[in-house]
Structure 1
Amino acid sequence: MSTPERTLCPYHTHILVAGSWSSPGFDDDKTQFTIPCESLLADMSHITALALDQSPPVARCLRFACFLSTGEFVIWSLSHSKPGIHSLQHRYIPTGRTERTIAPVVHGVYHHPLLTALTRSFSLSLYDTSSKTVQHTQTVTSFTSFPPASLVLSTPSPSTYKLVLAHAIPMYPAHWSLGATEFMIHGGGSTSQNSATSMLGFSSDTPSTGPDALTVRSTRTVRTVDVPRGWIDEDKLRAMKEQWERKVSLITDTQTDGKWVVLAPGDRLSSLASPSAAQDQTTPSLSTPLPVQTSMVASPMHSASGLQLYRLSLPPHTSISASPPKLTFVRTLHGQMGPITALALADGRCVSLGRNGSIWVWDLENGTGAEVAAGDFAAIDAHPEPVIGAVVFDEKRIISALGAGNVVVRRFDI
């Protein structure tokens, strides 16, 4: 159904704008622009995350933020029709060495003037880019949330932002499941409301810079498994046991679009399991990254390639009697052979990249999927070591990268 369109070289400390991605009228093979994103703090640095501005473009100019391994970030503006015309809008250099500045940013979302950055140590920082100088307004931290994670930002009103974070949560004795946290961010109002962030796992370690600063005003967290307090009836016990059986020993990726959450397990096939590997499992900690592989299958209710699909419900909390948020299991998506290394999710559609290079597109509402690119090899789990991949998509393209190989662009209508 699709053929590779072009390949790109490995990344450097600059942004490459190439071909029809920038303007349909340009020659893909000849038109390339590099935008420098060099560090002022170190001779060598690398890019850890990118964030494209989601707000309406001004004068057909697009803004994007580039986060560096030194804790710096830069915001560039470029012309949509002439990408060679670009200008530096902001450069942020952190002051001092704190956990917020030394931990690399792994995810960022940008809706001018709000820029949010999530670090590997699970500190979420908010920045106001409305003035000439970037203002760091707040950082909240969680000690019960873990990578992998994904962010989606929306604007319920002109002065309010809703940030939804999907993340992994540990389960006894050494397993994982899903959680989701909603952050309501806006300016104005009493700064005393910021204390709400400490009630549900995220605590603030930086005060706002003023009553009108962009800060988190409230949070809500929901889990797939939340053991109720006190005594429970048989129906609640049955539902809790069902979700408990869906726990996994490793999560490769999780993505959300604010309505759906998809979990890709990272378990090896049961035929490769060994008792010694199961005994080596330890309770995760925030200071150590998640293990890259395991040979333990936690439950017969999932497979190494089955995607767990959940519906996320976040009713408006307009009153005390408002319905609580829910993260409800819907189904397991089967079809793709072999373990999955990366997911992309938007508008009720999911694209999954297999460890063998295969690509599937899923309709989450109907629970159907189709293979749009075959794998590079037929054997399931043929790689002795997991391969890190990435995938993104829009209405016409899927862009994927697997391991240290090239970036591949595939064109078709999805």
Structure 2
Amino acid sequence: MSKRPLSPATLPPSKRVHISWDGAHESTPRRTFDTLLYDELVLHIFSYLPWEDLCAVQATNRNWFRLSADNQLWKSLYLTEYGRSRLRGGRGFVGRTDGREVKPLPGRAHSDEVKNWKAMFRISTNWRTGRCDISKVEDDMQALAQTGNADIQTMNGAEQQLAGKTHMLLTGHFTIIASSQPSISPAITFISPTSHTTTIHAKCLRVQRPIQITALAVDQSPPSTSFTRIAVCLSNGELQVFEQHGVHLQTSSRKHYYIPPARTPRTTPILQVAYHHPVLATLSEKFHLSIYDVSSESMKLTHCLTSFTCFPPASMVLSSPEPSTHRLVLTYASPVYPKHWSVGVTEVILNSAPSSLHSTSSDPASAIRLISTRSTRAFDLPPGWLDTAKLAVLHEQWGRKVFEVAGTQTDGRWVILAPSDSVAPNTPSTSTTGILSPFSSMPLQLYRISFPSATANSSATPKLTFVRNLHGHTGPTAALALADGRCVSVGHDGSIWVWDLEAGTGAEVAPARDEEDEDSIESMEERWALAAKATVVFDERRIINAGVGGVVVRNFDI
């Protein structure tokens, strides 16, 4: 029995136990805004952000940096912004018209290639803004692509016009550079992505005399092997097709050739060539279009077309919209009375199916048959009387005439006309800022080609519609390149502009270079002569141009 009774008051609350019974320390992780949300929810929120904000949230923490680099996020952004599932550029072959990739069947099963959509978005954005890394080709390669003054003095007039120009091609495996310098065996250099080089020589198959390379073209057909095929046109009229292995650089050979029976304006000099196996097309300076069958080792001339209303500069693109059907699109300078110029387009449809019954070729046994030819011009005077609407259209077309054409280019859908001054400037003027400005603004003219269905009406005329002017250069254009809806132009002042023809955007890649002394007339004349022989090529990631500054590479994959 207790000494005193218990108090009726309630007992005080018991103290919390800070140590568990087993003696281990327990702690609850602190919940934050980052840990309260699942990764799936954060990714769903990120899907509503534009690419600028998606890049900005990367600096928040490591978790958001990881989530903001999600490949599916950037895939959605890329397809929304640029609309295609691949990078755009002058590829080694022209793919399908619907944009789907065409690849050969593999020898064994391969895993699906995972695309880095963020890198693709960065490269495409650099193209749009003109951001790139500029580098020069090494001195030994640049010397290969140039012609010495001693060699030029020993040439005749026609050879001097061809000399000094650098021929360049970009394929999936190589960068191909060839000089137009006369030689017994002109060299063609292949540069791999790892900077390894190999050289093949286009030797004359008849009389051993100095010859020049006048044109180069890569096979535009889908690759069936690991070999790259290129067509080489020589100044003596010969044509040669070489194969170069994509991995083993020493594996190369001449697979096809053509020896003309005589030196004629049809075969010399060849200024343009297009190749889509087994069809090869060449265009001479006198505007003779020749079609060859490359099925056998010795090429066969199947068709020869001539025009008296088409003039250089010209460009060609050869594609295969359907199996056994080839379409050649040719752009050229078209005269406008009395002394002006515009642009014209011709479409040539060829059939290489052996089951075709009708043939208009000179060789009855040839498998390549000419189906149709259709032409149109940007300035076309309608016959008869004109009403008010037709007269207004005619006035608009007349306002786009030019005194001289610097270049024309096409990719089969778009056409570019680059105007030029009639003469080179001899006394450049100086602006108020002290910068030489001998030229005025000369925008490029952009047109869209529409080809009616040949099956519905074979006599329907293609339509060449003016879209807009491309403003950028402050002078004439020195070189043009057009592929896959993208145009790259080089001005006489050294500036380079890039236009996305489908999106309607344009940007200057590099400003005009003022490294040389331009205060003297001799310096300006030298730059004009070098710029007149400039060339430019591009693919999905690079622009390579040869001109006043040598051979320069601009890389957008940075």
Bigger helix share: 2
Aligned to 2:239: 73
Question: Residue 309 of structure 1 aligns to which amino acid in structure 2?
Answer: L
SS state at 1:130 partner: coil
Cα deviation, residue 125, structure 1:
0.7
Of the two, which has the highest radius of gyration? 2
Aligned to 2:137: 6
SS state at 1:4 partner: strand
Aligned to 1:23: none
User: What is the CA–CA distance in structure 1 between the aligned matches of 2:202 and 2:269, rounded to whole Å?
Assistant: 16
Cα deviation, residue 268, structure 1:
6.3
User: What is the CA–CA distance in structure 2 between the aligned matches of 1:323 and 1:221, rounded to whole Å?
Assistant: 10
SS state at 1:100 partner: coil
Cα deviation, residue 304, structure 1:
4.4
Aligned to 1:140: 305
The one of 267, 277, 290 aligned to 2:421: 267
Question: Residue 130 of structure 1 aligns to which amino acid in structure 2?
Answer: S
Which deviations, in whole Å up to 9, do the C-alpha atoms of 1:263-306 show, x marking residues without a partner? 11102699999xxxxxxxxxxxxxxxxxxxxx9x9xxxxx6431
Aligned to 2:265: 99
Aligned to 2:18: none
Aligned to 1:220: 374
Cα deviation, residue 323, structure 1:
5.6
User: What is the CA–CA distance in structure 2 between the aligned matches of 1:323 and 1:94, rounded to whole Å?
Assistant: 36
User: What is the CA–CA distance in structure 2 between the aligned matches of 1:98 and 1:394, rounded to whole Å?
Assistant: 35
Equivalences for 1:44-123 in 2 at 5 Å?
44-101=210-267, 103-123=268-288
Aligned to 1:285: none
Q: Report whether the alignment pairs 1:407 with 2:538.
A: no
Q: Report whether the alignment pairs 1:33 with 2:206.
A: no
Which deviations, in whole Å up to 9, do the C-alpha atoms of 1:300-358 show, x marking residues without a partner? xxx64311111111121222398631111111111222221111001111001011211
Question: Residue 327 of structure 1 aligns to which amino acid in structure 2?
Answer: L
User: What is the CA–CA distance in structure 1 between the aligned matches of 2:330 and 2:198, rounded to whole Å?
Assistant: 33
Equivalences for 1:6-405 in 2 at 5 Å?
6-7=137-138, 8-9=142-143, 10=146, 11=179, 12=181, 13-20=186-193, 26=194, 28=195, 31-40=196-205, 41-101=207-267, 103-187=268-352, 189-191=356-358, 194=360, 207-210=361-364, 212-267=366-421, 304-320=441-457, 324-377=461-514, 383-384=524-525, 385=528, 387-388=531-532, 389-402=534-547
- Maintained 8 Å contact 2:245/2:251: yes
Aligned-residue Cα RMSD (Å) equals 2.7
Bigger strand share: 1
User: What is the CA–CA distance in structure 2 between the aligned matches of 1:394 and 1:143, rounded to whole Å?
Assistant: 35
- Maintained 8 Å contact 1:37/1:74: yes
Change (3 A) 1:84 1:321: closer
Structure 1 moving runs of 4+ over 4 Å: 268-273, 378-382
More displaced stretch, 151-160 vs 212-221: 212-221
Which deviations, in whole Å up to 9, do the C-alpha atoms of 1:159-191 show, x marking residues without a partner? 110000011011111110010000001135455
Cα deviation, residue 362, structure 1:
0.3
Cα deviation, residue 234, structure 1:
0.8
SS state at 2:472 partner: coil
SS state at 1:235 partner: helix
Cα deviation, residue 85, structure 1:
1.0
User: What is the CA–CA distance in structure 2 between the aligned matches of 1:377 and 1:406, rounded to whole Å?
Assistant: 14
- Maintained 8 Å contact 1:269/1:304: no
TM-score normalised by the chain length of structure 1: 0.82
More displaced stretch, 32-41 vs 119-128: 32-41
SS state at 2:391 partner: helix
Cα deviation, residue 5, structure 1:
4.2
Question: Residue 383 of structure 1 aligns to which amino acid in structure 2?
Answer: M
- Maintained 8 Å contact 1:191/1:208: no
Question: Residue 536 of structure 2 aligns to which amino acid in structure 1?
Answer: V
SS state at 1:43 partner: coil
User: What is the CA–CA distance in structure 2 between the aligned matches of 1:186 and 1:383, rounded to whole Å?
Assistant: 50
Cα deviation, residue 116, structure 1:
0.8
Change (3 A) 1:324 1:127: closer
- Maintained 8 Å contact 1:395/1:413: no
User: What is the CA–CA distance in structure 1 between the aligned matches of 2:458 and 2:192, rounded to whole Å?
Assistant: 53
Question: Residue 344 of structure 2 aligns to which amino acid in structure 1?
Answer: G
Aligned to 1:279: none
SS state at 2:348 partner: strand
Question: Residue 208 of structure 1 aligns to which amino acid in structure 2?
Answer: S
Change (3 A) 1:411 1:147: same
- Maintained 8 Å contact 2:135/2:552: yes
Cα deviation, residue 211, structure 1:
5.5
User: What is the CA–CA distance in structure 2 between the aligned matches of 1:42 and 1:250, rounded to whole Å?
Assistant: 39
Question: Residue 133 of structure 2 aligns to which amino acid in structure 1?
Answer: S
Change (3 A) 1:270 1:365: farther
User: What is the CA–CA distance in structure 2 between the aligned matches of 1:307 and 1:179, rounded to whole Å?
Assistant: 15
Cα deviation, residue 95, structure 1:
1.0
5+ residue gaps in structure 2?
A: 1-131, 147-178, 428-437
SS state at 2:374 partner: strand
- Maintained 8 Å contact 1:128/1:214: yes
User: What is the CA–CA distance in structure 2 between the aligned matches of 1:127 and 1:166, rounded to whole Å?
Assistant: 20
Change (3 A) 1:141 1:45: same
- Maintained 8 Å contact 1:169/1:176: yes
Cα deviation, residue 406, structure 1:
2.2
Cα deviation, residue 213, structure 1:
3.0
TM-score normalised by the chain length of structure 2: 0.61
Question: Residue 556 of structure 2 aligns to which amino acid in structure 1?
Answer: F
Change (3 A) 1:134 1:323: closer
User: What is the CA–CA distance in structure 2 between the aligned matches of 1:357 and 1:215, rounded to whole Å?
Assistant: 44
